[in-house]
């Protein structure tokens, strides 16, 4: 039997439709995420695509494998998708596609705010630094420069010492 060809989106939809009709999936009310088909060289059966990493599929591996085997036997990934995925853009396609890259080198992006070069970073607090020269997390020092003695913790009232 000759395989029908579908593009990647339609193939994904077909697999999803068949999986969501499996009785076990319907009974549990689970929505299984179906990935896009990935192009591969044709295998021994002649199938040129595969799917891996289904979402929310724990416990449904066997029904998914059955559906995947059925769909792989019936469909191939369309030649246009295969050619686009395998080959770079041709000159004609590049000119007709508004989203394709340009073969000309691009000039540096202009700043939309009209500034020619980025401004230097400015401290919003001026030149003021922390009140303590050592920083906000350093131990407090007395005016003489010696460290203040550590305070002793109060005794625990709930222990019998």
CB-side neighbour CA atoms (13 Å) of 112: 0
Task: Confirm whether 74 is domain-assigned.
Answer: yes
Task: Confirm whether 151 is domain-assigned.
Answer: no
Instruction: Give ∠ CA 10-13-15 in degrees, rounded to 5.
Output: 110
Q: What are the tens digits of pLDDT across the range 48-107? A: 999 999 999 999 999 999 999 999 999 999 865 444 444 444 445 455 555 555 555 555
Task: Confirm whether 156 is domain-assigned.
Answer: no
Task: Confirm whether 62 is domain-assigned.
Answer: yes
Task: Confirm whether 104 is domain-assigned.
Answer: no
Q: Output the pLDDT for position 19.
A: 96
Q: Give the residue numbers spanning the domain of 8.
A: 4-85
Average pLDDT over residues 137-142: 56
Task: Confirm whether 67 is domain-assigned.
Answer: yes
C-alpha–C-alpha distance, residues 54 and 35, integer Å: 6
Computed from CA positions of residues 10, 15, 19, 21, in that sequence, does the dihedral angle turn out positive or negative? positive
Q: What percent of the chain clears pLDDT 90, i.e. is strictly above it?
A: 46
Task: Confirm whether 75 is domain-assigned.
Answer: yes
Task: Confirm whether 81 is domain-assigned.
Answer: yes
Closest by CA position to 4, among listed 85, 78, 80: 78
**Is the confidence at residue 3, as pLDDT, over 80?**
yes
Q: Output the pLDDT for position 65.
A: 95
DSSP 82-151: HHHHHSPPPHHHHHH-TTSPPSSPPPPPPPTT--SSPPPP--TTTT---SSTT-TTSPPB-TTSSBPPPP
Q: How confident is the model at residue 112 (pLDDT cuts 50, 70, 90)?
A: low
Q: How confident is the model at residue 155 (pLDDT cuts 50, 70, 90)?
A: confident
Q: What percent of the chain clears pLDDT 70, i.e. is strictly above it?
A: 58
The structural domain count of the chain equals 1
C-alpha–C-alpha distance, residues 4 and 7, integer Å: 10
Q: How far apart are the first and last CA of the chain?
A: 90
Average pLDDT over residues 32-57: 93
């Amino acid at each position: 039997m000759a395989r029908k060809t579908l593009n990647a989106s339609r193939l994904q939809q077909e697999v999803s439709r068949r999986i969501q009709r499996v009785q076990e999936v319907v009974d549990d009310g689970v929505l299984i995420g179906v990935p896009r088909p990935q192009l591969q060289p044709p295998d021994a059966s002649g199938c040129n695509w595969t799917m891996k990493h289904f979402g929310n599929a724990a416990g449904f591996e066997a029904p998914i494998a059955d559906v995947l085997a059925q769909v792989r036997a019936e469909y191939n990934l369309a030649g246009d998708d295969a050619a686009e995925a395998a080959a770079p853009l041709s000159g004609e396609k590049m000119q007709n596609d508004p989203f394709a890259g340009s073969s000309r080198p691009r000039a540096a992006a202009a700043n939309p705010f009209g500034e020619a070069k980025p401004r230097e970073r400015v401290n919003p607090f001026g030149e003021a630094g922390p009140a303590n020269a050592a920083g906000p997390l350093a131990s407090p020092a007395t005016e003489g420069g010696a460290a203040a003695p550590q305070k002793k913790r109060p005794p625990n009232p709930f222990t019998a010492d």
